[in-house]
Amino acid sequence: MSLLEVRELQTYFDTRRGVVKAVDGISFTLESGKGLGIVGESGSGKSQTAMSIIQLFQHNQRIAGGSIMFDGRQISDYTDSQLEAIRGNEISIIFQEPMSSLNPVFTVSKQLCEVLITHQNMSSEDAKAKAYEMLKAVKIDQPERVLKSYPHQLSGGMSQRVMIAMALSCNPKLLIADEPTTALDVIIQAEILKLMNELKEKLNTAILFITHDLGVVSKMVDNVVVMHGGKIVESAPVKVLFKSAKHPYTKRLIAAFLKTDIRRANEGETLDFFEAENDQYDFQQFRDRGVADDDFYQVSAGHMIACRLKKK
């Protein structure tokens, strides 16, 4: 049994101008202790996929279809209080903007202890001791001083370390990281990624790593899904994806990352990748090698590409 199993997930926003399908029928699985990357351009639905897992929703947002199984439980059907018991406890999340993700009016200590007191029923003494330990685990110098600090007294890198400490303090089975290093400079970024990898190994935490930086994803995860327009266009083991991406959108993403001139000609125009995928590939050739389901063709073990428009 997989740790996380997302099936045909749809997450919609009800807006004045109609329904926005931020996530439109995606499926993926994540094994415990492993890493899965979600990549795709801005607005492709990566963050909303992450938010859907713990239903960290806005007023007008809802799961419109599909299911999410976590650790054998269908958490997509959970009530608010059931979800609260899971958030920060079994599934934690860290965000892109560490500086604004901590509450400016509370000390680091209070914000760290809060999770422990909420989920582990710790006394405030024990929680403080554990918070100190966690800050040491994320390699913060002078944890004593940082505990007493307010967020505005911390740098971006330190704030993200505090966020990681907070996220991991209840020893979650799954850590969702939504572009955790995008706002940090390259050197700090590398340190944070290294730290996350170390802690992931040590605590055997699965990571759902969201990024649009393909360079980062190759260091962090085993498998990658590529999203575009709320849908998955390709999924593969990370090495396979870099070596033999099949989908035109993935190819362009990799090309853009490598900054080659491939497709320079196409830049500026919005390419309809779903059209393109049908023009460029005869998906029938994959049929013989085994069809995963109606929408995806399996190229090789674990490597799928979308071809849904072929049916129309």
Ligand X SMILES: Nc1ncnc2c1ncn2[C@@H]1O[C@H](COP(=O)(O)OP(=O)(O)OP(=O)(O)O)[C@@H](O)[C@H]1O
From the list another protein, ligand X, Mg ion, none, partner contacted by residue 13 (C-beta under 5 to 8 A by kind): ligand X
* Residue 52 binding ligand X, by CB under 6 A: no
What is the token pair recorded at 277? 């995928």
* Residue 114 binding another protein, by CB under 8 A: yes
One of 48, 55, 160, 223 touching ligand X (CB under 6 A) = 48
The stretch among 32-40, 112-120, 127-135, 299-307 that binds another protein (CB under 8 A) is 112-120
Range 196-255, binding ligand X (CB under 6 A): 212
CB-wise, 40 or 143, nearer to Mg ion? 40
Helix (H), strand (E), coil (C) string for the chain: CCCEEEEEEEEEEEECCEEEEEEEEEEEEECCCCEEEEECCCCCCHHHHHHHHCCCCCCCEEEEEEEEEECCEEHHHCCHHHHHHHECCCEEEECCCHHHHCCCCCCHHHHHHHHHHHHHCCCHHHHHHHHHHHHHHCCCCCHHHHHHCCHHHCCHHHHHHHHHHHHHCCCCCEEEEECCCCCCCHHHHHHHHHHHHHHHHHHCCEEEEECCCHHHHHHHCCEEEEEECCEEEEEEEHHHHHHHCCCHHHHHHHHHHHCCCCCHHHCCCCCCHHHHHHHHCCCHHHHCCCECCCCEEEEECCEEEECHHHHC
* Residue 19 binding another protein, by CB under 8 A: no
CB-wise, 68 or 253, nearer to another protein? 68
* Residue 257 binding ligand X, by CB under 6 A: no
Contact between 305 and 247 under an 8 Å Cβ cutoff? The reply is yes
Contact between 40 and 46 under an 8 Å Cβ cutoff? The reply is yes
* Closest approach of ligand X to the CB of residue 218, in Å: 18
From the list another protein, ligand X, Mg ion, none, partner contacted by residue 173 (C-beta under 5 to 8 A by kind): none
* Residue 47 binding ligand X, by CB under 6 A: yes
Backbone CA torsion sign across 165, 168, 49, 223: positive
Give φ, ψ of 11 to 5 degrees: -120, 120
Range 58-117, binding ligand X (CB under 6 A): 58
* Residue 15 binding another protein, by CB under 8 A: no
Strands 174-178 and 91-94: parallel
CB-wise, 47 or 160, nearer to Mg ion? 47
One of 78, 150, 257, 281 touching another protein (CB under 8 A) = 150
Q: Going residue by residue from 35 to 54, which x/- string records binding to another protein, judged by CB under 8 A?
A: -------------------x
Range 172-201, binding Mg ion (CB under 5 A): none
* Residue 115 binding another protein, by CB under 8 A: yes
One of 27, 44, 47, 61 touching Mg ion (CB under 5 A) = 47
* Residue 207 binding another protein, by CB under 8 A: no
* Closest approach of ligand X to the CB of residue 45, in Å: 4
* Residue 80 binding another protein, by CB under 8 A: yes
Q: What CA–CA distance (Å, rounded) separates 158 from 247?
A: 39
Q: Which residues bind another protein (CB under 8 A)?
A: 54, 56, 59, 80-81, 83-89, 92-93, 95, 97, 100-106, 114-115, 118-119, 150, 152-153, 163, 166
Interface with ligand X (CB under 6 A): 13, 15, 20, 22, 40, 42-48, 58, 212
Interacting residues toward Mg ion by CB under 5 A: 47
